[in-house]
Each structure stands twice: as structure tokens, then as C-alpha cells.
Structure 1
Amino acid sequence: MTNLSLNHFSIRSLEIEKTTKFYTEIFGLTVGPRPDFPFPGVWLYNGDDSDWANAVLHLIAIDKNDPNGLKQYLGERDPASLYGSGGVDHIAFFAKGLEAKIALLEKLGVPCRQRTVPAIKLHQIFVDDPNGIVIELNYPAEEKEALDAKAA
């Protein structure tokens, strides 16, 4: 077994404002401090933004007027390759509060796909972020059962 834990994931986006809004509104991440890199971006935090370890999502923007800072720091990428998740199929999180999340998605008009996986006792919601990246939220299956019972 290795001594690894997920630090953060990064999304290089042509839609930085929409992407920031998506992750703050839907997932409750908050915008926080970011080092002064030679390219624009936003760091989103899950928890206290005074702790860099809570910066779970690094959004990378492309300055169309000066793309060299990003190119020199992280390398060049074809803008056509930035939609969808390429070799990464999806990013998944454990979550609680299924009923509130479904209500929020409906209120914001964000389409989602749902399914329950009885073998692992999870109810899953899948949403696509503004960059076409699939985000999976895994809720305890009993939350879905309680919601269904409430609706019956």
C-alpha cells in the first residue's frame, strides 16, 4: 500500500467564469488564495482557505492575449482537446444530503443522471461541468430509499 491521498485536480478551461460558478454553486467549493502563477486561474477550496491542502480544485485559465506564461509553466495543449475529460472518465466524490442536492440541481436547471448500485450501497448522481467533465457524487443508498419512501 502506498502513502497517497488526493491533493487536488486541475481543469484547464476556456470557460473559467462558468466553471468557477458551477463548482461553487453546485458543490459548495469556495474561491480562495492562489499563488501568483504566470497565467490566470482560480483555486477552489473545500473548507478553510487558509490551508493550501483544502484547495481541491485548481482551475487553469488561458490568457488568449498572452498564452506564453501557461505554455512555459505547464506546456501547450490544443484548445480542441480541452472539452470532455480526455483519458479521464470522471471524477467522483462521496457526499451526503441527496435531497438538497437534487433540489439544487433542479433549481439551477442542471441536468443529471442517477442510478443506485445496490452491491456497494450507493446512489450516484452524474453531472457534466461546463467543460464536459463528468462529476460523480456518491450518496449512501439509504438516503435515496428515504427519499423514495417520502415521495410514496
Structure 2
Amino acid sequence: MMPVELLRHVTVFTKDVEETSKFLKTALGFTDGYTSGVDFPLAWLSCREQSVIHMVGKDSPGDTGGGHIDHVAVNRSDYLGMKAHLDACGATQKEKTQPKFGAHQIFVETPEGVQL
């Protein structure tokens, strides 16, 4: 079996593409990515010039009405600086330590409850 080489992007269906996009840009520093001229709510957010989060409005083509994403993991250096920034943004968050993996995590919740 060939292993996955790279996670290219995650697509999130959201009730309010504009609000969710603004939150992710403000709280986590994503930037606007490519958005084609489609006739439904759509936003691509980039990290280092790579579109990694595609947000699509609910009831748009492709919305199956199915489940949701539990969380998406991203790396960030300067843990204390990031924590202070999230506090200043008023972001809903929880911290978790994973000693087995040597990780201390901050889970940030979007306005609709998706965790990053």
C-alpha cells in the first residue's frame, strides 16, 4: 500500500463562511487563499501560500448533511504567545497535555464548534 504523502486540505461545511473565515484569520493567522467565481459561499484559507482549509456554505453543492470534523491539528511555535493571542481574541479553547507524545495542545473552537 502506498502511504499518504501529504494532507493537502480539509473542507469544512459552515453556516456562515464569512464569520468562520474571519475567526480563523484573526485567531490562528490564516490568510485568504484562492476563491473561484462560484455561485455559492466559499472561502479558501492559506498557510504559507498553500490553501489548507476550504470552507463551504451549508446547503451548497456537495453538502451531504452528514457528520462533522472533530478536530484538525496545526503546528505553531511560541506556545505562550499563541495562548496570549487566543485569550485576547476571546477564542473558546481548552488545553490538553499528552505526555506520551511530548505534546501540550490548545484546542480552539470555531463559532460553530469545529476544533482546531
TM superposition score normalised by structure 1? 0.67
Letter in 1 for 2:57: A
Cα distance, 1:32 vs structure 2: 2.4
Cα distance, 1:45 vs structure 2: 0.7
Instruction: Pick the structure with more helix per residue.
Output: 1
**Whole-Å Cα distance in 2 between the matches of residues 124 and 76 of structure 1?**
31
Q: Is the 8 A contact 1:116 1:124 kept in 2?
A: yes
**Whole-Å Cα distance in 1 between the matches of residues 11 and 32 of structure 2?**
14
Q: How many residues align?
A: 115
TM superposition score normalised by structure 2? 0.85
Q: Is the 8 A contact 2:70 2:115 kept in 1?
A: yes
Q: How does 1:1-152 map to 2 (within 5 A)?
A: 1-48=2-49, 54-62=50-58, 70-71=60-61, 74-77=62-65, 86=67, 88-135=69-116
Question: Secondary structure, in 3 states, of the residue corresponding to 2:92?
Answer: coil
Q: Is the 8 A contact 2:42 2:57 kept in 1?
A: yes
Runs of 4 or more above 6 Å deviation:
none
Cα distance, 1:11 vs structure 2: 1.1
What residue ranges of structure 2 are gaps of 5+ in the alignment? none
Task: From the superposition, tell whether residues 45 and 114 of structure 1 become closer, same or farther in structure 2 (CA, over 3 Å).
Answer: same
**Greater relative contact order: 1 or 2 (C-alpha under 8 angstroms, separation 6 or more)?**
2
Larger Cα Rg: Structure 1 or Structure 2?
Answer: 1
Q: CA RMSD in A?
A: 1.9
Deviation string 1:61-118 (CA, Å, 9 cap, x unpaired) is 24xxxx6xx33xx2553xxx6xxxx353211122211111111111111131112222
Task: From the superposition, tell whether residues 3 and 14 of structure 1 become closer, same or farther in structure 2 (CA, over 3 Å).
Answer: closer
What residue ranges of structure 1 are gaps of 5+ in the alignment? 49-53, 136-152
